Amino acid sequence: MRVAVVGGTGDFGLALAQRLAEAGDHVVIGSRDADRARAKASETGAADGATNADAVRSVDIVVLAVKADAAIATATELADAIGETPVLSVASELRFTKSGVHPTKDDRSIAERTQEVLRAPVVAGLHSLAAVSLAGGKADGDALVCGDDSLAKDLALELASKVVSGRALDAGPLTSARALEGMTAVIVNLNRRYKGHAGIRVVGL
């Protein structure tokens, strides 16, 4: 599979790129700084590094791995370059307060808002995976993916299956991204309370 990781020089994007490269995928790391992207590609075993706009061309799927506050703006900026290539949104918008970490107040998920600015089908997933969990190898647990486009979802599920020790599971339509993104807040609260690296494993299936 040919994968572009936009925001691939950040902690999560970098760890994901490394795992996918180890699995044999052709990974292109995207960044605003092409030289930095190429340097990180060399470190991780990715095939190449490029500007975000160049990275998303001629791939099978684009992983939008930038921080939540930059996700919509980045998708808008890359809309023409992405075209109709499927996009996997992994960001979660969180509010950090003294009482704990909360999901966004927006009724829509970042994935749904991303879909509004792209022609490409958007799927959402990997929200239960942390950069630190991916950095040392496959993350423990299952990966959940949701979306409305079946072909895009199949690509995302294939990708997800390569980076977890458990299963990649279809969690339904894109509106389910509201729950998946909100689940990140739960996981962060658990990690803070119990000083761990929580993941998700679905039982009974």
Cα angle: 96, vertex 111, 113; to 5 degrees = 90
pTM of the model: 0.96
Q: Is 73 inside a domain boundary?
A: yes
Q: Is 159 inside a domain boundary?
A: yes
Q: Is 205 inside a domain boundary?
A: no
pLDDT at 49: 97
Helices (H) and strands (E) in the chain, counts: 8, 10
> If you search the block for the tokens 């009482």, which residue do you land on?
99
Per-residue pLDDT tens over the stretch 31-44: 999 999 999 999 99
Helix (H) or strand (E) holding 110: helix 110-117
Task: At 150, list the tokens.
Answer: 């079946």
pLDDT at 96: 85
Structural domain count, the chain: 1
With CA atoms as reference, report the closest residue to 26 among 55, 54, 53, 52: 55
Overall average pLDDT of the 139-145 stretch: 97
Q: Is 148 inside a domain boundary?
A: yes
Q: Is 204 inside a domain boundary?
A: no
- 186 CB burial (10 A radius; 0-12, 13-18, 19+): middle
Q: Which residue type occupies 118?
A: L
Query: What's the CATH code of the domain at 70?
Result: 3.40.50.720
Per-residue pLDDT tens over the stretch 69-105: 999 999 999 999 999 999 999 999 988 888 888 888 8
With CA atoms as reference, report the closest residue to 138 among 168, 105, 108, 163: 163
Q: Is 202 inside a domain boundary?
A: no
Task: Tell me which residue range forms the domain holding 71.
Answer: 2-194
What span, in angstroms and rounded, lies between the C-alpha atoms of 185 and 205? 25
Helix (H) or strand (E) holding 125: strand 122-125
Contact 163, 138 (CB under 8 A): yes
Q: Is 102 inside a domain boundary?
A: yes
Per-residue pLDDT tens over the stretch 159-197: 999 999 999 999 999 999 999 999 999 999 999 999 998
CA–chain centroid gap for 148, Å, is 17
Q: Is 201 inside a domain boundary?
A: no
